Amino acid sequence: MSEPYQPNDPAHSAAATDASLDQAAAAREKSIPENGNQPISLWTTVICGAVLIVAGLILGYGGNRFSYNSLFRDGYVRTAPPGSVATPLPPKPALDAYMARGKKVFEAKCIVCHGPDAKGNGVTFPSLVGSAWANGETERFAMIVLNGLQGPASNGKTYGVMTPQGIGMTAEELAGIMTYVRNHFGNTKGDVITTEMAKAAINISAARKNSGQAVTAAELTADHVNALPGKPVAATTLVDPLTLEPVPSAAAPPVTAPPAAGAPAAATPAAKVP
């Protein structure tokens, strides 16, 4: 038997609604701690922990990129503040100065393809270690650096097209990278490719019949099996590490020749009597 229909009581409905709101408010108050802080979720903890672990691995195995053993990186040169007089750097042996410049160029332009050991990968990038062209005639090597290479390399194998590196390259940078490759990674030519030679190489490159295109083995053999013109500089010659220009030797004190036999001795000024 069903209950008789009873009309809704507005007062009763309002009371029920107020009770529901009170319960919801009480539940909400209980979910928030007294200090107002929400507990950290498990996923937040896991993600933050993973980020810290990855950051630690990068710092621990990042090589010299995060070295705190010295205040400045090797080869860093601090420029003088505006209005001050720059103190000249002490001269270096030419081979050391050119090698330092070339190391910077190699790390900026060459290391991505040829690798930190200059051995390449043997498939798309050739090795510079023991390379007949890198260690051979300087004009040929310069043309490869400046213009890139397409077709077979010195070992007869084709690796693809090497992109030119001479765009925006200064004579000092070209001289440095050539000297560095020829005297590092097991290469021991012992010579210095000077800025004068590098300037000549840039001019020769600009005068190529196929200017703007990568060189080929055929062109190198036909036109560039030459030594770059320029006065050689001994590896021990002292140069300015910034300009790579030879530093003039300090003026020696004048030497007075002894008087010839039988010649009268120079008169000594008489001492003044006070």
Q: Where are the alpha helices (DSSP H) in the chain?
A: 10-31, 42-61, 94-105, 111-114, 138-147, 171-182, 195-206, 217-223
Which among 193, 198, 175 is positioned nearest to 233, based on CA atoms? Answer: 193
Q: Which of 39-43, 54-58, 86-90, 222-226 has the highest mean pLDDT?
A: 222-226
List the single range of 55-69, 134-148, 217-231 with lowest mean pLDDT.
55-69
pLDDT of the residue at 273: 47
Instruction: Express each pLDDT in 107-151 by its tens digit.
Output: 999 999 999 999 999 999 999 999 999 999 999 999 999 999 999
Instruction: Express each pLDDT in 10-44 by its tens digit.
Output: 555 555 566 666 666 666 555 555 555 666 778 88
pLDDT of the residue at 18: 61
C-alpha 139/C-alpha 186 separation (Å) is 21
Cβ(144)–Cβ(223) below 8 Å: no
Tokens of 77: 């040169």
Task: Match 């099996």 to its residue by tokens.
Answer: 225
Task: Tell me the β-bridge partners of 93.
Answer: 238
C-alpha 202/C-alpha 185 separation (Å) is 25
Instruction: Express each pLDDT in 238-267 by its tens digit.
Output: 999 999 999 987 543 444 445 555 555 544
| Mean of pLDDT values over 38-55 | 81
pLDDT of the residue at 118: 97
Q: State how far the alpha carbon of 111 is from the alpha carbons of 91, 105, 172, 181, in Å.
A: 28, 9, 19, 12
Fill in the DSSP letter of residue 152: B
Count other C-beta atoms under 10 Å from residue 203's C-beta. 11
Domains recognised in the chain with CATH numbers: 92-239 (1.10.760.10)
pLDDT exceeds 90 at position 63: no
C-alpha 176/C-alpha 97 separation (Å) is 8
pLDDT of the residue at 94: 97
